Amino acid sequence: MDAPDDFDPKPGQAEPVAPGIRRVLCNNPSAFTYRGTNTYLLGASGGVAVIDPGPEDSAHLEAILAALGPGEHVSHILVTHAHRDHSPLAGPLAAETGAKVWAYGDATAGQSEVMRRLAASGAMGGGEGADQGFVPDEIVPDGGTIPGDGWSVTGLWTPGHFGNHMAFDAQGEVFSGDLVMGWSTSIVSPPDGDLTDFMASCERLAARAPARLWPGHGAAIEAPADRITWLLGHRRTREAAILEALSEGPADAATLADRIYTDIPRALLPAATRNVLAHLVDLMGKSRVAPQTELSAETVFAITG
């Protein structure tokens, strides 16, 4: 269910994509950001919310400000999560506009207890792309509502890709960050990412029956239920493949990734390995596998029983 390669907006150019929603694509394409980070402007007059301002990029800052129409100003800056392609520009944009930055919490907020312990040990590595210095001005509690000029959003704490990940629901138009995207599955890399939380967050988002999803990268998702169902099924299929590979004998995440991810460029294997590690930690929590040594990124796992 790979997305067709037809999403190619011009970076830096504000594009109306739905009533009261504009998108400005940042010019930071990569294997992990697709065409770049989507920054959204919510509102049609007066105070406008900027959702995911993006990386610290002066040209993108200018593009966001240029997207404002007559009589408009930035009243709120909302950040889905503290990755460096989403949150660093929040500070410069706040300094330029006087708007406050709103998010679930800082870069360490929302980590599960098991991931907090793994992060403290340092044995799992991780931290890829985290904006460690991110601290919002305002904390948005799970289910909290942020009102604006002719718009309002409800914050949904949706950890999994990142502990402080929050989606923003504007009456069914949901800004889903990196939890659900159409062009790719999300990277879940412990200890910043937690697959157990990821699956629960996807199920929670599906239960809200959103009309449409506006992801952090790639095109809008017009059939959210179908996409989320596919993503959950994909993860379960990957889990089954890991268990099948382990039935041949104990192995570490890198060995399993090399066996299972046969259809991706070799340069992406390290990211695939982190995904496998996330599955192994999740399976360990379900008592399906057990580490053969103290838990780390190189630990060999075996099927239990």
List the chain pLDDT tens, one digit each, 305 residues.
Answer: 344 568 999 999 999 999 999 999 999 999 899 999 999 999 999 999 999 999 999 999 999 999 999 999 999 999 999 999 999 999 999 999 999 999 999 999 999 888 888 888 776 777 678 999 999 999 999 999 999 999 999 999 999 999 999 999 999 999 999 999 999 999 999 989 999 999 999 999 999 999 999 999 999 999 999 999 999 999 999 999 999 999 999 999 999 999 999 888 888 888 899 999 999 999 999 999 999 998 888 999 999 96
pLDDT of residue 280: 96
How does pLDDT run across 260-305, given as a tens digit for each residue?
998 888 888 888 999 999 999 999 999 999 999 988 889 999 999 6
Q: Which residue has the tokens 């990268």?
A: 217
pLDDT of residue 5: 62
Q: Which residue type, as a one-letter code, is found at position 90?
A: A
Dihedral class, residue 12 (left if φ above 0, else alpha if ψ from -120 to 50, else beta)? left
- For every residue of the chain, DSSP letters joined together read -PPPS---PPTT--EEEETTEEEEE-S--BTTTBT-PEEEEE-SSSEEEEE---SS-HHHHHHHHHT--TT-EEEEEE-S--BTTTSTTHHHHHHHH-PEEEES-STTTT--HHHHHHHHH-TT---TTB-TT---SEE--TT-EEE-SS-EEEEEE--SSSTT-EEEEETTEEEEETTS-SSSPPP--TTT--HHHHHHHHHHHHHT--SEEEESSSS-BS-HHHHHHHHHHHHHHHHHHHHHHHTTS-EEHHHHHHHH--SS-GGGHHHHHHHHHHHHHHHHHTTSEEESSS-STT-EEEE--
- Confirm whether pTM is higher than 0.75: yes
pLDDT of residue 114: 84
pLDDT of residue 4: 53
pLDDT of residue 1: 39
Residue 285: how many CB atoms within 10 A of its CB?
A: 14
Q: How far apart are CA 241 and CA 91, in angstroms?
A: 43
Q: How far apart are CA 78 and CA 136, in angstroms?
A: 9
